[in-house]
Amino acid sequence: MNPDAPPVVALRDVRYVYPSGDVAALDGVTLEIQRGQVLAVAGQNGSGKTTLTKLLNGLLQPTNGSVAVLGRDTAGRRVQELARHVGYVFQNPNHQLFARSVAEELAFGPRNLGIDEAEVAARVAEVADAFGLTGHLGAHPYHLGFPIRKLVSIASVVTMRPSIMVLDEPTTGQDHRTAGAITRLLFGLRGAGITVVCVSHDMELVVAVADRLVVMRTGRVVAEGTPREVLADGATLSATRLRPPQITRLSMALSGGMEGPAALTVQELLRDVRASGLDRVGGSG
Protein backbone atom coordinates (compact mmCIF):
# COMPACT_ATOMS: atom_id res chain seq x y z
CA MET A 1 0.00 0.00 0.00
CA ASN A 2 1.20 3.49 -0.86
CA PRO A 3 0.09 5.98 1.85
CA ASP A 4 0.59 8.86 -0.59
CA ALA A 5 -1.75 7.37 -3.20
CA PRO A 6 -5.30 8.71 -3.41
CA PRO A 7 -7.82 6.66 -1.41
CA VAL A 8 -10.02 4.20 -3.29
CA VAL A 9 -12.91 5.16 -1.00
CA ALA A 10 -13.42 8.55 0.63
CA LEU A 11 -16.34 9.59 2.83
CA ARG A 12 -16.56 13.29 3.68
CA ASP A 13 -18.79 14.41 6.58
CA VAL A 14 -21.41 11.82 5.64
CA ARG A 15 -24.80 11.88 7.29
CA TYR A 16 -27.56 9.42 6.53
CA VAL A 17 -31.12 9.52 7.84
CA TYR A 18 -33.49 6.72 6.87
CA PRO A 19 -36.75 8.03 5.38
CA SER A 20 -38.78 6.43 8.17
CA GLY A 21 -37.15 8.25 11.08
CA ASP A 22 -35.46 11.31 12.53
CA VAL A 23 -32.42 9.52 13.95
CA ALA A 24 -29.23 9.73 11.89
CA ALA A 25 -27.86 6.24 11.17
CA LEU A 26 -24.61 8.02 10.22
CA ASP A 27 -23.75 11.38 11.68
CA GLY A 28 -20.69 13.14 10.31
CA VAL A 29 -18.51 10.21 9.19
CA THR A 30 -15.25 11.07 7.47
CA LEU A 31 -13.16 8.10 6.42
CA GLU A 32 -10.56 7.12 3.82
CA ILE A 33 -9.69 3.61 2.65
CA GLN A 34 -6.46 2.95 0.79
CA ARG A 35 -5.99 0.55 -2.11
CA GLY A 36 -5.16 -2.98 -0.98
CA GLN A 37 -6.07 -2.29 2.63
CA VAL A 38 -8.15 -4.62 4.78
CA LEU A 39 -10.36 -2.39 6.88
CA ALA A 40 -12.44 -3.92 9.67
CA VAL A 41 -15.51 -2.09 10.96
CA ALA A 42 -16.80 -3.01 14.41
CA GLY A 43 -19.43 -1.78 16.83
CA GLN A 44 -22.66 -2.81 18.46
CA ASN A 45 -25.83 -3.45 16.50
CA GLY A 46 -27.33 -0.14 15.42
CA SER A 47 -23.99 1.68 15.40
CA GLY A 48 -24.16 2.37 11.65
CA LYS A 49 -21.81 -0.30 10.29
CA THR A 50 -24.09 -1.79 7.66
CA THR A 51 -25.43 1.61 6.63
CA LEU A 52 -21.84 2.71 6.04
CA THR A 53 -21.08 -0.24 3.79
CA LYS A 54 -24.27 0.18 1.74
CA LEU A 55 -23.10 3.65 0.79
CA LEU A 56 -20.05 2.16 -0.93
CA ASN A 57 -21.96 0.40 -3.70
CA GLY A 58 -24.81 2.85 -4.11
CA LEU A 59 -27.47 0.81 -2.31
CA LEU A 60 -27.86 3.98 -0.24
CA GLN A 61 -27.00 7.60 -1.02
CA PRO A 62 -25.90 10.00 1.73
CA THR A 63 -28.42 12.51 3.06
CA ASN A 64 -25.54 14.97 3.43
CA GLY A 65 -21.83 14.84 2.61
CA SER A 66 -20.20 12.83 -0.15
CA VAL A 67 -18.97 9.33 -0.93
CA ALA A 68 -16.34 8.80 -3.63
CA VAL A 69 -15.32 5.38 -4.97
CA LEU A 70 -12.20 5.18 -7.17
CA GLY A 71 -12.16 8.97 -7.35
CA ARG A 72 -15.76 9.43 -8.51
CA ASP A 73 -18.71 10.59 -6.44
CA THR A 74 -21.37 7.88 -6.08
CA ALA A 75 -24.17 10.44 -6.42
CA GLY A 76 -26.19 9.65 -9.51
CA ARG A 77 -24.30 6.41 -10.24
CA ARG A 78 -26.34 3.24 -10.59
CA VAL A 79 -25.81 0.22 -8.39
CA GLN A 80 -25.17 -1.86 -11.53
CA GLU A 81 -22.29 0.42 -12.48
CA LEU A 82 -20.75 0.38 -9.02
CA ALA A 83 -21.10 -3.41 -8.86
CA ARG A 84 -18.27 -3.65 -11.41
CA HIS A 85 -15.95 -2.17 -8.81
CA VAL A 86 -17.53 -2.91 -5.42
CA GLY A 87 -18.55 -6.48 -4.59
CA TYR A 88 -21.00 -6.70 -1.69
CA VAL A 89 -21.58 -9.88 0.34
CA PHE A 90 -24.64 -9.80 2.59
CA GLN A 91 -24.53 -11.15 6.13
CA ASN A 92 -27.31 -13.62 5.34
CA PRO A 93 -26.66 -15.59 2.13
CA ASN A 94 -30.40 -16.18 1.78
CA HIS A 95 -30.72 -12.49 0.90
CA GLN A 96 -28.30 -12.93 -1.97
CA LEU A 97 -28.58 -16.38 -3.56
CA PHE A 98 -31.28 -17.08 -6.14
CA ALA A 99 -29.93 -19.39 -8.88
CA ARG A 100 -30.86 -23.06 -9.23
CA SER A 101 -27.32 -24.36 -8.91
CA VAL A 102 -24.02 -23.28 -7.41
CA ALA A 103 -22.49 -23.16 -10.90
CA GLU A 104 -25.22 -20.79 -12.12
CA GLU A 105 -24.79 -18.66 -9.00
CA LEU A 106 -21.05 -18.28 -9.57
CA ALA A 107 -21.55 -17.53 -13.26
CA PHE A 108 -24.29 -14.94 -12.88
CA GLY A 109 -22.15 -11.98 -11.83
CA PRO A 110 -19.44 -12.11 -14.51
CA ARG A 111 -22.04 -13.02 -17.13
CA ASN A 112 -24.08 -9.96 -16.13
CA LEU A 113 -20.95 -7.84 -16.65
CA GLY A 114 -20.74 -9.02 -20.25
CA ILE A 115 -17.78 -11.36 -19.80
CA ASP A 116 -17.54 -13.94 -22.60
CA GLU A 117 -18.66 -17.48 -21.80
CA ALA A 118 -15.20 -19.06 -21.99
CA GLU A 119 -13.90 -16.61 -19.40
CA VAL A 120 -17.00 -17.08 -17.25
CA ALA A 121 -16.44 -20.86 -17.23
CA ALA A 122 -12.77 -20.40 -16.36
CA ARG A 123 -13.60 -18.09 -13.45
CA VAL A 124 -16.27 -20.45 -12.11
CA ALA A 125 -13.86 -23.39 -12.19
CA GLU A 126 -11.04 -21.37 -10.58
CA VAL A 127 -13.15 -19.93 -7.77
CA ALA A 128 -14.98 -23.21 -7.11
CA ASP A 129 -11.60 -24.91 -6.67
CA ALA A 130 -10.31 -22.15 -4.39
CA PHE A 131 -13.42 -22.33 -2.17
CA GLY A 132 -13.71 -26.11 -2.13
CA LEU A 133 -17.02 -25.92 -3.99
CA THR A 134 -16.21 -28.06 -7.04
CA GLY A 135 -18.18 -30.99 -5.68
CA HIS A 136 -21.22 -28.76 -5.08
CA LEU A 137 -21.44 -27.06 -8.49
CA GLY A 138 -24.52 -29.04 -9.52
CA ALA A 139 -26.31 -28.61 -6.19
CA HIS A 140 -29.07 -26.12 -5.47
CA PRO A 141 -27.61 -23.58 -2.98
CA TYR A 142 -30.59 -24.00 -0.64
CA HIS A 143 -29.94 -27.73 -0.40
CA LEU A 144 -26.56 -26.95 1.21
CA GLY A 145 -25.90 -26.23 4.87
CA PHE A 146 -25.61 -22.62 6.00
CA PRO A 147 -21.78 -22.53 6.22
CA ILE A 148 -21.37 -23.77 2.65
CA ARG A 149 -24.14 -21.48 1.44
CA LYS A 150 -22.20 -18.56 2.94
CA LEU A 151 -19.10 -19.62 1.01
CA VAL A 152 -21.17 -19.75 -2.18
CA SER A 153 -22.39 -16.18 -1.60
CA ILE A 154 -18.82 -14.93 -1.17
CA ALA A 155 -17.55 -16.95 -4.14
CA SER A 156 -20.31 -15.56 -6.36
CA VAL A 157 -18.91 -12.06 -5.78
CA VAL A 158 -15.27 -13.09 -6.16
CA THR A 159 -15.98 -14.38 -9.68
CA MET A 160 -16.79 -10.77 -10.66
CA ARG A 161 -13.24 -9.75 -9.64
CA PRO A 162 -14.16 -6.40 -8.09
CA SER A 163 -11.37 -4.11 -6.94
CA ILE A 164 -13.20 -3.56 -3.62
CA MET A 165 -14.89 -6.29 -1.57
CA VAL A 166 -17.38 -5.54 1.21
CA LEU A 167 -18.23 -8.42 3.54
CA ASP A 168 -20.89 -8.06 6.23
CA GLU A 169 -20.17 -10.44 9.16
CA PRO A 170 -18.49 -13.10 6.98
CA THR A 171 -17.89 -15.62 9.79
CA THR A 172 -21.33 -15.41 11.44
CA GLY A 173 -22.90 -18.88 11.53
CA GLN A 174 -19.73 -20.54 10.24
CA ASP A 175 -18.18 -23.71 11.58
CA HIS A 176 -14.47 -23.92 12.30
CA ARG A 177 -13.56 -25.24 8.84
CA THR A 178 -15.45 -22.63 6.83
CA ALA A 179 -14.39 -19.81 9.19
CA GLY A 180 -10.80 -20.84 8.48
CA ALA A 181 -11.53 -20.83 4.74
CA ILE A 182 -12.86 -17.28 5.00
CA THR A 183 -9.78 -16.15 6.91
CA ARG A 184 -7.55 -17.63 4.20
CA LEU A 185 -9.71 -15.96 1.56
CA LEU A 186 -9.18 -12.55 3.14
CA PHE A 187 -5.43 -13.13 3.21
CA GLY A 188 -5.63 -14.09 -0.47
CA LEU A 189 -7.63 -10.98 -1.38
CA ARG A 190 -5.13 -8.77 0.40
CA GLY A 191 -2.27 -10.55 -1.35
CA ALA A 192 -3.95 -9.88 -4.68
CA GLY A 193 -4.19 -6.16 -3.92
CA ILE A 194 -7.97 -6.19 -3.42
CA THR A 195 -9.32 -3.59 -1.01
CA VAL A 196 -11.49 -5.26 1.64
CA VAL A 197 -14.04 -3.73 4.00
CA CYS A 198 -15.10 -6.29 6.59
CA VAL A 199 -17.88 -5.64 9.09
CA SER A 200 -17.35 -8.08 11.94
CA HIS A 201 -17.88 -8.82 15.64
CA ASP A 202 -15.29 -11.59 15.29
CA MET A 203 -12.20 -10.05 16.88
CA GLU A 204 -10.12 -13.16 16.19
CA LEU A 205 -10.74 -12.58 12.49
CA VAL A 206 -10.09 -8.85 12.81
CA VAL A 207 -6.71 -9.19 14.49
CA ALA A 208 -5.70 -11.92 12.02
CA VAL A 209 -6.41 -10.06 8.78
CA ALA A 210 -7.13 -6.35 9.31
CA ASP A 211 -4.61 -3.60 8.65
CA ARG A 212 -6.92 -1.06 10.25
CA LEU A 213 -9.88 -1.17 12.62
CA VAL A 214 -12.66 1.43 12.76
CA VAL A 215 -15.07 1.32 15.70
CA MET A 216 -18.49 2.91 15.40
CA ARG A 217 -21.03 4.02 17.99
CA THR A 218 -24.36 5.77 17.40
CA GLY A 219 -23.50 6.62 13.81
CA ARG A 220 -20.05 8.03 14.47
CA VAL A 221 -16.48 6.77 14.23
CA VAL A 222 -15.21 6.73 17.82
CA ALA A 223 -11.89 4.95 17.33
CA GLU A 224 -9.55 4.21 14.45
CA GLY A 225 -6.12 2.62 14.19
CA THR A 226 -4.42 -0.74 13.96
CA PRO A 227 -6.23 -3.56 15.79
CA ARG A 228 -3.45 -3.51 18.39
CA GLU A 229 -3.89 0.22 19.01
CA VAL A 230 -7.67 0.10 19.25
CA LEU A 231 -7.81 -3.01 21.45
CA ALA A 232 -5.33 -1.41 23.86
CA ASP A 233 -7.75 1.49 24.44
CA GLY A 234 -9.71 0.47 27.52
CA ALA A 235 -12.06 3.45 27.33
CA THR A 236 -13.12 2.55 23.78
CA LEU A 237 -13.62 -1.11 24.69
CA SER A 238 -15.78 -0.12 27.66
CA ALA A 239 -17.87 2.44 25.75
CA THR A 240 -18.52 0.15 22.78
CA ARG A 241 -18.59 -3.19 24.65
CA LEU A 242 -16.06 -4.70 22.27
CA ARG A 243 -14.46 -7.89 23.55
CA PRO A 244 -10.85 -8.50 22.52
CA PRO A 245 -9.92 -12.02 21.38
CA GLN A 246 -9.76 -14.61 24.15
CA ILE A 247 -5.97 -14.82 23.87
CA THR A 248 -5.73 -11.04 24.32
CA ARG A 249 -7.91 -11.18 27.44
CA LEU A 250 -5.62 -13.87 28.86
CA SER A 251 -2.61 -11.72 28.01
CA MET A 252 -4.20 -8.77 29.83
CA ALA A 253 -4.82 -10.96 32.88
CA LEU A 254 -1.12 -11.93 32.90
CA SER A 255 0.10 -8.42 32.15
CA GLY A 256 1.36 -7.84 35.69
CA GLY A 257 4.28 -10.13 34.98
CA MET A 258 4.96 -9.06 31.40
CA GLU A 259 6.06 -5.92 29.59
CA GLY A 260 4.73 -4.41 26.38
CA PRO A 261 1.30 -4.45 24.74
CA ALA A 262 -1.16 -7.29 25.15
CA ALA A 263 -0.72 -10.24 22.80
CA LEU A 264 -3.10 -10.65 19.87
CA THR A 265 -2.18 -14.23 18.94
CA VAL A 266 -1.11 -17.45 20.64
CA GLN A 267 2.37 -17.06 19.16
CA GLU A 268 2.72 -13.57 20.64
CA LEU A 269 1.55 -14.73 24.06
CA LEU A 270 4.03 -17.62 24.07
CA ARG A 271 6.81 -15.20 23.12
CA ASP A 272 5.85 -12.79 25.89
CA VAL A 273 5.52 -15.51 28.51
CA ARG A 274 8.96 -16.88 27.66
CA ALA A 275 10.53 -13.41 27.63
CA SER A 276 9.05 -12.62 31.04
CA GLY A 277 10.18 -15.91 32.59
CA LEU A 278 6.62 -16.79 33.63
CA ASP A 279 7.05 -20.18 31.96
CA ARG A 280 9.76 -20.97 34.52
CA VAL A 281 7.74 -20.01 37.59
CA GLY A 282 7.33 -23.07 39.80
CA GLY A 283 9.82 -25.06 37.73
CA SER A 284 12.77 -26.96 39.10
CA GLY A 285 15.28 -24.64 37.40
Q: What is the pLDDT of residue 217?
A: 95
Beta-bridge partner residues of 223: 215
Q: Burial of 55 by CB count in 10 Å (0-12 exposed, 13-18 middle, 19+ buried)? A: buried
Percent of the chain predicted with pLDDT > 90: 65
Structural domain spans, the chain: 1-85+162-242, 94-160, 245-285
Q: How big is the chain, counted in residues?
A: 285
Closest among 88, 204, 96, 196 to 149, alpha carbons compared:
96
Q: If phi over 0 gives left and psi between -120 and 50 gives alpha, with beta otherwise, what is residue 228?
A: alpha
pLDDT tier at 257, thresholds 50, 70, 90: very low
Model confidence band, residue 159 (pLDDT cutoffs 50, 70, 90): very high
pLDDT of 164 strictly over 90: yes
Mean pLDDT of 164-186: 91
Closest alpha carbon to 180 in 165, 191, 170: 170
CB 136 within 8 A of CB 102: yes
Task: Quote the pLDDT of residue 254.
Answer: 78
220-225 sheet: strands from edge to edge: 86-89, 164-168, 195-199, 38-42, 212-217, 220-225
Class of domain 1-85+162-242: alpha beta
Determine which of 66-80, 182-196, 253-267 has the lowest per-residue pLDDT on average.
253-267
User: Is the pLDDT assigned to residue 85 strictly greater than 90?
Assistant: yes
φ, ψ at 222 (rounded to 5°):
-110, -10
Is the pTM value of this prediction over 0.85? yes
